Structure 1
């Protein structure tokens, strides 16, 4: 019975007498990969998109002012350098539940936590708060959310009671209230909790204990759940966590009942999470007041540290069996209290790989007990990511010649500070000596910028590394504004929903503190930082980086093959800055359900599929980007390398010449073109031409859909190309001379062939339904499925092999490329994996008439291999 093909057939004329078989010429060797037209996904475009990344001396801005499709309002540009812009600051309508000074503040997510504090200036009163006040930030506006007040909190702050604990050798009554404590927040790395708050030491007073205030050695931990609430049963304060006291030999006293134990207050405390994910807490210097021990007061040069495990417990950083969780590091060259220690982090390129580095800057403070001398030096400790040890230096600033040097800054006591976007913020405090020093309270927040080596940059080209110290022209906090012993914290900002208002990357909160009359206040100052309007000046830094967050890059829910990277710039290189540029790099990885930094292999090896790759959008010059649209087809940049991804990340380096410091290049959007990476690959699993007693007997052909021997890399034919069928063709030729092949090559699949095209040498053909070719499936073509290639109709094998002689039989699968394979898949559709480079050609010899046509056939069904 005749079968009708779904493609028209072209009559092929065989000239048999003395002429060679007519064959198509061999196609050129195909490259392993094809370029394709994929789906374009714009990853970062608006301010909200860019704001989720990491900025290093760069900012997100509401520019360009008149975007054109597909660009929208929002770009990354180099950060402005200069004194802070007071118009970016306001006094929050929310207030603390009570005036507080010397109350540390930490943040977790969008929550602020105000810890303890003093409600009056007299240390010899029971005036210490025993609460942690929790506020909730509106991350778009910076304001605090309000509700019906619940005393002892108010409409903006919820009060959580600090559990009373034995305060140490100075008193045998459990106490909770304290001021002048150190505190840090450590975000959780596992579980559902938001993180942990550690409160270290502080000043306490109880009339039943002592005539004077005293320093406690309590170290307490509060657990914060996902809703920002402090878990009632989440407090801990084991004795081996208590702040260490040294014996006369400089060793930590581990006897919890020792009468020589001391407490600590006004200590500089900082948390560092290193590049390997280890959390360390450092306690630097501090003041110890022990009235029961002969009214003894001491100021320390000591540096201690401890480690936080994944459960939020403190452990000794190097010895798990130690009797204390604290280890001692090298002392500072001077004693210090009431200053600020600031954790700083940056990413530098080492051997082509981005490496996170961490450091601690130590600023301000008093170098004697009564604050008669203020510290004006700046010191930095580089953190060892493996064991947390510190290496201190005073070589903290970059010279114009590229060297390093020490610097001095304005001395301040009762000062606080914070780091963000490669900036150091030196926040309020007092420039006066002596105690309490309220007359010298400040309203300024001097700023410095550090590079990837943690070296401070000269912001004025005149040896001025911190700018913004003039209380008349540089004050930041709105009036009435001068503060000392205030606290500072950052909360990430969310760009405004209208998309056009200039965005900030974070909100800075300066909370409480004492005014110039030494009276505690309930005021909260809010400022936007990390935006294009952060400073008053127009000068820009000369170089910076932007790192996107790792983002999923799936196509129809499957692994993608990346085809092209596209980005738009606003360079407009003026004559003063002809080399202003943006350098784009990206990396891609295939993961199973995750998309995070740790999924990428940091190796720079050329065989690492998730390495950072450089892109060149301007191959006509040494620069890396053109002004306007840039596109890199990855098949051209990385020939023969198939870049697959479920997750990717990019980074952009912004460069400008120093000739026009008010200029900045801008990255306007970043996009990726992609297709599904999994493809069908129709393999010739088995192909054989069988004879019996010298006559033709059978064609055995089994196909398999399997790419790279991996089901995950294989796509069903229907998913790749829709329903219907594709074709298999056999080219059969009888040799004129038994020793001379009549068929030396079989035509390769032709992506340019139309749906009706047939290989010119084709003798018989068969249709394969696409739906049977699921990933890993096999399909056998039965003898009765073959049809004459020329004109159709049932195959008569007696006609084809009716004359004795030697026959060559070649095969080509999916000549019309209808199965959705790429070049890699099509390259084996003649069986090159078995017999390169011209395909499988079977040879049989017929010596007798063919066997009679079989009257019945075995039916073959698809077999799915899983």
Structure 2
């Protein structure tokens, strides 16, 4: 028998005629292994985002969810995305929803998930009395209606809506030896717990305290306290280490780190903001503020200072310069001062997703609005400032060039000055909430019921909303009031809670709820009413003017099919796009990305690289390839095999984004996105299994090779793909490696080579003795194919296998099998791993062993029969 080293390593390209059967082996024409289907298929269409509830889960940037359906509606349902209307808020979207346990002004309000927390506050207008609240009041929001959950039995120290948690008393420093907890005018932010089981943390900074038993009755607190909120929205613990205390600067401008220093001062009426950057870092910024100092200092001071600290994963504050140090002398770092001192204004953390080189990048900034530039509030701030946040260091870069010019540049602007004002941001909008337009203290006569609104682009530049250099709308107290009459407020507090629209709603829903709590009225009397308004919906404003363009980002969503990874066949979206002469270029550009994960579906699962080799990169879809536009009016369908012919796109998780664009010629219409759908099938693969493999002998002589192959992956027909669908028509080889043992105690063949994805089309294993071709057409999903004895060819000569020559000599023979050595069938690594029989239970092991005996001599020997 020919030795293994003498066998050829390549299959000759010849035409063989065996037993009268023509067998074409034009191997160079056989396609190599590929993961892409050569023919488009028809799959199941799943409408992923179709209703208002679906769209409300996403992220809006100058877009809103609306109730408008397509006509005819099937398969569309009520719900769409449109460009956001921009204008004064619609007062019909606002109402009183509940009452605080007591009237409160100058409280702080924060939200974690669906829970509201009201921190401290003043129960009367006189600052020189013990009128501060010592509680944090907590309520739960019904997210589909914006109402508060009512308890049948009022909570102790609270009411039916609010549960009371007492703030622990704490030593305020050398100015007082008592443990104080009641306060007003504190700053507070909520920080979600990004790595643990809690809902998050509430950080309370400073505040105004009063106690007649202290040597200075009325003063500002320098304490920073943290409340831990568990997953049920309950406060479970408090912390206030000395090195968290709000900074006091010495004569050289350095932070005093001695907690017992008699020079320590506190702060109140600060502008405070929390930012989580795209680098995954959490920062708290405290800007300006008013300091009512102990008796040995000037009684009041106005701060231009900007300090910030970082929140570690465990909820502790750390110094941004050295966040790994768990116990620094101070957790605060000083940034550049403001150009003026400021108190009683608002700092609004904002976020935008900017597309840079095809990749969406989160950017963060802080807008600074309103407030007093004098201690007694004799002057109000009318400038708008913005600080861009460095995502890695947290450093701020300030500018007053915050608004677009008609020529595309940036400029400074002025807005209505307000004190006792608050604000927040949602959907690329700034909400400048209530406050007083009067100077002086308390300025209650100028209390407002309006909430002016501005909108910013992806570079944080404010848009001209009326094409007349108007950047904030809604300041007219007669025509633009939002709070129901006769309510006007200053020193109120505000927070935002995401909305969860009810399924099947036929009226326009909201994406979030804004809550305005307490505050003082025009007579400077604290109030207990809480107002709520819906935002992020098409009815947020009655204005017909729309944003010029905007983005909508879906949340990542699962695209499993029958619990398996999907192969995506087509993406579909339905639009309504008016293109009159005034808006010829109105359009919707849809992009998507897809990824295969193991049990998760989140933003971090996607690789942000734009490289063409990145399977989870953002891809642009073109529903109108015959023009420069990206969507037609109506249903758009992109067959992925056509759009991306060199890829088979598989996914367990997907995300899409849509850019809505209108021509500036007509700002009163908007493109509409009605649904986004995915056509998909199970991401099936061929898996050629060795169903039966035996070598048979009769009377010690070779008689047959019994080989049956099966195409079945994971024992599931749904997970199995035909070989033709995976790689096209043609065939693949099965090779047998046959060796006779030269030493009976040592096997001549202990292993055969695995399939080699890098082998050339004509390669074969070095050990191959005989080969057989299997037609791909026979290997449908679940199909079996039996190789007959006459199908085997000599691996060297390509002639018919000469079995009498192969097994000519008596001895022990080992026979190994290799299926699809050149990986023509489109199997993945899992499928190739069993092509030598490794994962097949006995008796289908990798090596078969037979014994060939010497042929019989042909002489009969008869033994006589003896009878007794």
Tell me whether the two structures share a fold, i.e. TM-score over 0.5.
Answer: yes
Q: 1:270 to 1:851 in 2, by over 3 A?
A: closer
State the match for 1:74 in structure 2.
Answer: 79
Unaligned runs of 5+ in 1: 1-13, 707-713, 728-747, 760-777, 779-806
Q: 1:687: Cα distance to partner? A: 11
In the alignment, which of 317, 321, 338 is matched to residue 320 of structure 2?
A: 317
Q: 1:260: Cα distance to partner? A: 0.6
Q: Counterparts of 2:797 and 2:483 in 1: how far apart (Å)? A: 85
Q: Is the 8 A contact 1:679 1:715 kept in 2?
A: no
Q: Are residue 491 (structure 1) and residue 497 (structure 2) matched? A: yes
State the match for 1:244 in structure 2.
Answer: 247
Q: Are residue 187 (structure 1) and residue 187 (structure 2) matched? A: no
Q: 1:684: Cα distance to partner? A: 9.0
Q: Are residue 58 (structure 1) and residue 87 (structure 2) matched? A: no
State the match for 1:843 in structure 2.
Answer: 799
Q: Is the 8 A contact 2:683 2:719 kept in 1?
A: no
1:805-837 C-alpha deviation (Å, 9 max, x unpaired): xx997512453342369xxx99xx99xxxx9xx
Q: 1:688 to 1:750 in 2, by over 3 A?
A: farther
State the match for 2:557 in structure 1.
Answer: 551
State the match for 1:357 in structure 2.
Answer: 363
Q: 1:481: Cα distance to partner? A: 1.3
In the alignment, which of 274, 279, 284 is matched to residue 281 of structure 1?
A: 284
1:234-273 C-alpha deviation (Å, 9 max, x unpaired): 1000100000000010000001111110000001111000
Q: Are residue 816 (structure 1) and residue 778 (structure 2) matched? A: yes
Q: Counterparts of 2:804 and 2:494 in 1: how far apart (Å)? A: 98
Q: 1:552: Cα distance to partner? A: 1.2
State the match for 2:232 in structure 1.
Answer: 227
Q: 1:545 to 1:808 in 2, by over 3 A?
A: same
Q: 1:316 to 1:705 in 2, by over 3 A?
A: farther
Q: 1:673 to 1:120 in 2, by over 3 A?
A: same
State the match for 2:859 in structure 1.
Answer: none
Q: 1:600: Cα distance to partner? A: 0.8
State the match for 2:629 in structure 1.
Answer: 623
Match runs of 1:39-50 below 5 Å: 39-50=44-55
Q: Counterparts of 1:90 and 1:253 in 2: how far apart (Å)? A: 47
Q: Counterparts of 2:804 and 2:294 in 1: how far apart (Å)? A: 118
Q: Is the 8 A contact 2:122 2:132 kept in 1?
A: yes
Taking structure 2 as the reference length, the TM-score comes to 0.81
1:313-366 C-alpha deviation (Å, 9 max, x unpaired): 111111226300000011111110100000000000111100000000000001
State the match for 1:118 in structure 2.
Answer: 122
Q: Is the 8 A contact 2:710 2:782 kept in 1?
A: no
1:645-664 C-alpha deviation (Å, 9 max, x unpaired): 11111100000101111100
State the match for 1:673 in structure 2.
Answer: 679
Q: Counterparts of 1:610 and 1:22 in 2: how far apart (Å)? A: 43
1:440-474 C-alpha deviation (Å, 9 max, x unpaired): 11111000000000000000100010011110111
Q: Is the 8 A contact 2:687 2:720 kept in 1?
A: no
Q: Counterparts of 1:204 and 1:350 in 2: how far apart (Å)? A: 48
SS at match of 1:123: coil
1:571-616 C-alpha deviation (Å, 9 max, x unpaired): 1322321211110111111111111111111111111111101111
Q: 1:697 to 1:139 in 2, by over 3 A?
A: same
SS at match of 1:518: coil
Q: Counterparts of 1:75 and 1:565 in 2: how far apart (Å)? A: 17
SS at match of 1:49: helix
Match runs of 1:452-531 below 5 Å: 452-531=458-537
Q: Are residue 151 (structure 1) and residue 156 (structure 2) matched? A: yes
Q: Counterparts of 2:717 and 2:342 in 1: how far apart (Å)? A: 73
Q: Is the 8 A contact 1:430 1:440 kept in 2?
A: yes
Q: Is the 8 A contact 1:33 1:640 kept in 2?
A: no
In the alignment, which of 384, 387, 392 is matched to residue 381 of structure 1?
A: 387
Q: Is the 8 A contact 2:711 2:782 kept in 1?
A: no
Q: Is the 8 A contact 1:720 1:820 kept in 2?
A: no
Match runs of 1:55-454 below 5 Å: 55-64=60-69, 66-92=71-97, 94-147=98-151, 148-210=153-215, 212-231=217-236, 234-319=237-322, 320=325, 322-454=328-460
Taking structure 1 as the reference length, the TM-score comes to 0.81
State the match for 2:688 in structure 1.
Answer: 682
Q: Is the 8 A contact 1:679 1:820 kept in 2?
A: no
Match runs of 1:512-591 below 5 Å: 512-591=518-597
Q: Is the 8 A contact 1:170 1:290 kept in 2?
A: no
Q: Is the 8 A contact 1:110 1:492 kept in 2?
A: yes
Q: Is the 8 A contact 2:243 2:328 kept in 1?
A: no
Q: Counterparts of 1:404 and 1:849 in 2: how far apart (Å)? A: 89
Q: Counterparts of 2:693 and 2:803 in 1: how far apart (Å)? A: 22
Q: 1:129: Cα distance to partner? A: 0.2
SS at match of 2:432: strand
Q: Counterparts of 1:678 and 1:815 in 2: how far apart (Å)? A: 17
Q: 1:418: Cα distance to partner? A: 0.3
Decide which moves more: 268-277 or 36-45.
Answer: 36-45
Q: Counterparts of 1:282 and 1:177 in 2: how far apart (Å)? A: 23
Give the count of matched residue pairs: 756
In the alignment, which of 26, 37, 53 is matched to residue 33 of structure 1?
A: 37
SS at match of 2:258: coil
Q: CA RMSD in A?
A: 3.7
